[in-house]
A and B are shown apart, each in its own frame.
Chain A
Amino acid sequence: VKNDIEKVQSSNPTPEELEQERRELEETWQQPKGGPIAWLSNTDHKDLALRNIVTAFIFFALAGMLAFVMRLQLARPNNKILGPDLYNQFFTTHGTAMMFLFAVPVMLALGLYLVPLMVGTRGVPFPRLNAYGYYTYVIGGLFLYLGLILNLGPDAGWFAYVPLSGPEYGVGKRVDLWGQVVNLSEIAALVAAVQIIVCVLKFRAPGMSLNRIPLFVWSMVVTSFMTVFAMPIVMLITNLISVDRTPGLDTHFFNQAEGGDPILWQHLFWFFGHPEVYIIFIPATGIVSTIITTFSRRPTFGYLALVLTMIATAFIGFGVWVHHMFAAPLPQLGQTIFTASSMLIVIPNGVQIFCWIATLWLGRLNLKTPLVFVFGFFAIFVLGGLTGVMLASVPLNLQLHDTFFVVAHFHYVLIGGAVFPLFAGIYYWFPKFTGRMLNETAGIINFILLFIGFNLVFFPMHILGLNGMTRRIYTYLPETGWGDLNMLATIGAFVMGLAVITFVANVFYSIKLGQRAGDNPWGADTLEWSTSSPPPPYGHEHIPVIQGRHALWEKTDDAAVVTGLYTRVRETLCTTIHDALPEHRFEFNGPSLYPLLMALITGGAFVGLMFSQSAQAIGMIVSFPVLLGWFWSNSKEHRPPHSPEKDNPILEEDETRHER
């Protein structure tokens, strides 16, 4: 950096000048205050991401309650709490909500909050689009739970296999509702992915070349690229199944009798569905890398290896989908290839785990709640990974297909691989979000309850599955002998419930009464900790210049900062993609109500699609004037800084200041 960028002697601003600058930034970046309209037109990436995280946890709690009721139903043989129909709706809604409304959105939301701060910029590139994504997600989520209340809860499983979800067997509107919920939540995911990729490509602080990007940011970039290439497929097929199902249209995409193909559904679904697992897991690896580095108090061991394993996992993740379909009639050679590719993924994951162990081994540990949750992740995720290796083998897979062994496996992978790191991340970044620490004692209690509860629920399921208990059955007979282990699992569900209640209580307590955090309570190395807690709306007061991979640890006392960004408009610095050299100034759009309006139209059109395909055309026509308003209001705000240089008020003003 030193040689590439021209540094100038600092004008040595006086404290008054700095104060003035800070006041201007505050005014410029302020979001509208007072009243619901102001609240709804907020486009600050941090505010929206926090709302997104809270919303995701609410959907998580609701889906968890559904799981709890299912556990109650299965506690004893011949139980009568849930009938078969309601049980079907419960497990489908549980799976759909956990995947589409919790796991993916919460990870991307964490990225939307942290990535701009970590790369040293002031926001996401398209703030209004960001708000639009959040609102479509909320509409999709509300729609799913509303459907359950109205007896319209989807009931064909979260992967909605045809023909069960087709027009012949999936009567009513339940599957259509599922499809539209998926569509709405995936719009949000795609929006978030684009924000994160563009933010990292263009907005990195000067000096943050590709090999200095924090590992969490790398994980979000990899995840976002996977999102871009996986999510469109599921949106395509949910729309096609809904056309197949619409009376009067009667297409035959998945109808065997007319040349369509039910197996095609499985292929396309899992072509999306398997990368989806890594879309949830890779951000978790980013969280784990960050926390392990901070709490080992030493540079990450194997930075390059960790980055490459994430990228390798992403590529391999697109080539293993058939291992979900080993019970479908597929050519044997094909199955063998997918067994091999599924086992291949052990290599990057193994390398990751060894890098983390090495970092911990060589560090001086600071054993706090986030690190404890990471240890929990190790134990549970490795177990889930081992059953994954078992399931990659075709003969065993065929035997265990659709049993509780599979349920145990993917909960070990997903809760171990994503929820434990997520909790670790929340305990880690809560001080940054709120300015206060979460309580340590409650944190440890939370961990112990969650760890014990989780293993009580899901470990017995391995044995139940081996004993032949199939998944998605609403009850079983006493003669099967499955009663005791199921009771044990249900007791575990109580303990997990207690763990979540402890967490929520801790959050409510600490947000008001927690210990004050300060800027960098953990002594961490990434840039978000250089801002105040919570960060100001403009993120960084001066965009920093990065001197090393661990930005705050390697920062020297005389580290330069970026000056000269205009403080009267929301402006940031665009840098080059590889080396992050300053390129041009970029202005953000301000708050607006149009994103909400547009999300409502999208939601309305998608709900309408359940009943008539003309909803799409009507939606397009109605959105045109709204989009026109959105774009035109953009353009108005853009005017001053984009006018030609000679009559640019900013430059003129600066020149007069210089002359003076």
Chain B
Amino acid sequence: MKSLETFPSQTIDVRKLTASESDESSPLWWGNTLNLAMETVVFGGLIAMYVTIVMNTDPFPPIRTTSGLPILRNAAPDLFLPTIGLIVLLVSLIPAIWLDISSRRHNVRSIKIASIVTLGFNLAAIIIRYYEFDSLNFKWDDNAYGSILWIILIMHLIHLFVLMGEDLSVILWIFFKGVDEKQTVDLTVAAVYWYWIVGMWVLLYAIIYISPRLM
């Protein structure tokens, strides 16, 4: 224990500093950002694998000769449903940004509405993704190309599930216990996660669905 003599004559008094935090001042924001860095590395690895496998596949896009299905000469993935999925994700940015802003402003009514709408979009994206697997024209065990397409879709789908779980847990709290500052920070951080999910999907959509048509 310090004695009276050695206690410094000057101190930095922090009692007036707030306990509130947002974005990069918040440890949680950094934790989330680093988590997203890891997940980006995972998708980087998957994209590297995709490129290698495409280079190994000749002709590309491959010919589908799966038994029981009609032969497909140029089996690039179908565009219709995946494009709807992409649009849904892009439109979902509107309620996500709204939720982000209302969390920063601590506007409880907006938070409640926006969080439900965002959750709805999240659910819609999951349902569309479920049917989207048919658009790939290959099953996971047909060839390595089919395998990599499936795993990319599944990995992204897992993120949709994880964020839904995260949002659900915050929403349950908000509706049962009310909104305090910790929840608003959670929501702004979850919004960053949602932006990342959408942004990553734009890139993956271009690679999976557009790039085979450019070759």
Contacts and interface: CB of A to CB of B under 8 A. Distances in A.
B4 A541 contact: no
B30 A260 contact: no
Contact of B17 (A10, A559, A582): A582
Given A22-B1, A228-B34, A631-B169, A565 B148 contact: no
Interface string A191-216: 00110011001110010000000000
B57 interface: yes
Contacts, number: 222
A9 B9 contact: yes
A574 B19 CA distance: 9
Contacts of A271: 45
Given A8-B12, A198-B34, A260 B56 contact: yes
A541 B37 contact: no
Interface residues of B, number: 62
B182 A7 contact: no
A271 B41 CA distance: 11
B49 A268 contact: yes
A562 B14 contact: yes
A632 B144 contact: no
B165 interface: yes
Interface string B15-51: 1111111001101001100110111011001101100
Given A259-B143, A584-B17, A18 B10 contact: no
Given A563-B14, A585-B14, A232 B45 contact: yes
Chain A: interface size category: 35 or more
Given A236-B42, A240-B151, A631-B169, A585 B145 contact: no
Among B1, B11, B17, B165: residue with most chain A CB under 10 A: B11
Given A228-B37, A232-B39, A628-B172, A252 B147 contact: yes
Interface stretch (A65-73, A350-358, A598-606, A642-650): A642-650
A584 B8 contact: no
Contacts of A620: 161, 165
Q: Is the interface of B mostly helix, strand, loop or mixed?
A: helix
A249 interface: yes
B109 interface: no
B20 A232 contact: no
A412 B185 CA distance: 48
Interface stretch (A102-110, A278-286, A633-641): A633-641
A253 B182 CA distance: 43
A237 B48 CA distance: 12
A545 B183 CA distance: 32
A18 B2 contact: yes
Contacts of A656: none
A261 B52 contact: yes
Interface in A547-590: 558-566, 573-574, 576-577, 582-587
A233 B42 contact: yes
A85 interface: no
B144 A253 contact: yes
A442 B19 CA distance: 50
Contacts of A10: 7-11
Nearest to B180: A642
A638 B38 CA distance: 28
B181 A642 contact: yes
Given A8-B13, A541-B2, 10 more contacts: A15-B3, A243-B151, A251-B147, A258-B142, A259-B143, A267-B48, A563-B13, A564-B17, A565-B15, A635-B173
11 contacts: A6-B12, A19-B1, A22-B1, A249-B140, A249-B141, A261-B53, A261-B56, A541-B2, A632-B169, A644-B181, A648-B19
Interface of B: 1-4, 7-21, 24-25, 27, 30-31, 34-35, 37-39, 41-42, 45-46, 48-49, 52-53, 56-57, 62, 140-148, 150-151, 161, 165, 169-170, 172-173, 177, 180-183
Q: Can you list the 10 inter-chain pairs with the closest CB atoms, starting with the nearest? A: A564-B15, A259-B144, A251-B147, A260-B144, A125-B27, A252-B144, A232-B41, A563-B11, A564-B13, A250-B141
